[in-house]
Amino acid sequence: MLPDEAFNYLGVLDGALRREARFDLVAFDMDGVLVDYTSCWTWIHDHFSVDNEGALNEFIEGRIDDKEFMRRDIALWKERNPSLNRMDLDTILEPLPMTTGITETVSALKAAGIKTVIITGGLDIVAERIAKHYGFDDFLANGVECDDRGMVTGEGILRVELKNKRAALESFLAKYSVRKERAASIGDSFIDIPMFEASGMSIAYNPSDELAARRATFVVRSQDLTAVLPYLLKGK
């Protein structure tokens, strides 16, 4: 059952009830927010029983860039399956668990006329599936390069710099003519802080680190995403 507070915001007791939006656009991180798992990249690592801790540390320390980070991750998979292809990735990622309440949350925001977008360093295979299934307006995500036969080449496709989600959010603000003050962002880690800083209000949803919790406007700890709605909607 949905939390009572979020239940009231959904307006399910009165179909004619309309809500006034506090914002014009809400940006959602994917992994850890929409996906109930640390990372879809990590999901594939776990599938192949590989560990990218070394590359992760080098990336965090600034010794390798996003492209090299992706290249090393993909190399781990190809060591396990040299003939890895797009269909394999689809199959591996299909069981990813989704966070409870996405449908209700997106529906409530859309009913209020709010644009909903996904900004993630995760994989476009997953982001596209979520965007289509739940009705998000747009998404930006990274990818795994495949050749004409669908075979994984070993290279990544960079669209969202992990340390610069601000740029991704600002591209959406420009695309939809939304001012910073009229945008909200939802993330779960320190990687999302630049996105927090580029929006008028931010929510750390079940934050995985204290830095994200400290830098967000609000912290929401819940197993149901609808718990963010009271911060995004208000009654007329």
Alpha helices in 94-232 (DSSP H): 102-111, 124-134, 165-175, 193-197, 210-215, 229-232
**Does residue 234 carry a pLDDT above 60?**
yes
**DSSP of 80-118:** H-TT-BHHHHHHHHTTPPBPBTHHHHHHHHHHTT-EEEE
pTM strictly above 0.75: yes
Domain count for the chain, please give it: 2
Q: Which domain holds residue 186?
A: 4-37+97-235
Q: How far is CA 116 from CA 81, 98, 151, in A?
A: 36, 17, 32
pLDDT at 14: 34
143-198 pLDDT per residue, tens = 999 999 999 999 999 999 999 999 999 999 999 999 999 999 999 999 999 999 99
Residues 105 and 213 in one domain: yes
The answer to whether the beta carbons of residues 186 and 203 sit under 8 Å apart is: yes
Residues 79 and 129 in one domain: no
Q: Which residue in 155, 137, 158 sits closest to 145, CA to CA?
A: 155
Question: Which of 51, 66, 93 is the last residue before a domain boundary?
Answer: 93
Q: Can you tell me the distance from the alpha carbon of 21 to that of 130, in angstroms, rounded to the nearest whole number?
A: 23
Question: Which of 68, 93, 118 is the last residue before a domain boundary?
Answer: 93
The answer to whether the beta carbons of residues 201 and 179 sit under 8 Å apart is: no
The CATH number of the domain holding residue 163 is 3.40.50.1000
